[in-house]
Amino acid sequence: MDDQLASAISDLDEELAVGLVQKRLAEGIDAAAILAACQAGMTAVGQRYEAGEYFISDLMMAGEIFQAATTPLHSRIATGGQGTRGKIVFGTVKGDIHNIGKDIVIGLLRASGYDVLDLGIDVPAERFVQAVKDTGASVLGLSGLLTIAYETMKDTVYALQGAGLRDKVKVMIGGGPMTATIKDYTGADGWGSNAQAAVTLAHQWTEGV
């Protein structure tokens, strides 16, 4: 593992991180190994956020640094080289147009090796169901910051049941007002109070897949 590169990412040093990626590529180091080091740095960012050392602004900055550092790697990694942990469908539910939290979670999930389909905002239940069908995703993430989101989340879980997909996909919910009580109300499998919690849930659910 390239600890120097991982540290540059986790310390939010964009200039150093981008420079190290370019240097490693020039040295002939495998792009997948470089990506793994960048992902390790993002994992450390999530841990610092959980520990209260970093804030949402730091997560957003880390996501931008990760994207800048890893862009040169995309063309050098064979198709299928990323997203090896599993497929996830994610979106902000119908009636809610907040996307900052969703985007941060998706950034961390992608940095952790997941293939994430971002459906955007104000997404109705039937679109989530169709996306799960189309992708074969094993995890569905429902984001919402408004209390109106509760009903749409519940409707989405119900729609999954109606489509015969409920036992094939784990559902996580997240957003400012979400609690364990809301998780039970909506029928979701898990909930997170922050972005790193979503990554932790995804790891638990896809381990061994």
Average pLDDT over residues 18-46: 89
Q: How confident is the model at residue 77 (pLDDT cuts 50, 70, 90)?
A: low
Q: 75 pLDDT exceeds 80? A: no
Q: 161 pLDDT exceeds 70? A: yes
> One-letter amino acid identity for 20?
L
Residue in the structure block whose two tokens are 């519940």: 154
Compute the C-alpha angle 81/39/22, nearest 5°: 80
Domain boundaries, the chain: 3-76, 86-206
Is the separation of the CB atoms in 205 and 170 below 8 Å?
yes
Residues 6+ apart with CB under 8 A from 108: 42, 45, 46, 59, 63, 195, 196, 198, 199
Average pLDDT over residues 184-194: 92
Tens of pLDDT, residues 94-103: 999 888 788 8
> Exposed (0-12), middle (13-18) or buried (19+): which is 112, by Cβ within 10 Å?
buried
> One-letter amino acid identity for 4?
Q
Where does 86-206 sit in CATH, by number? 3.40.50.280
Where does 3-76 sit in CATH, by number? 1.10.1240.10
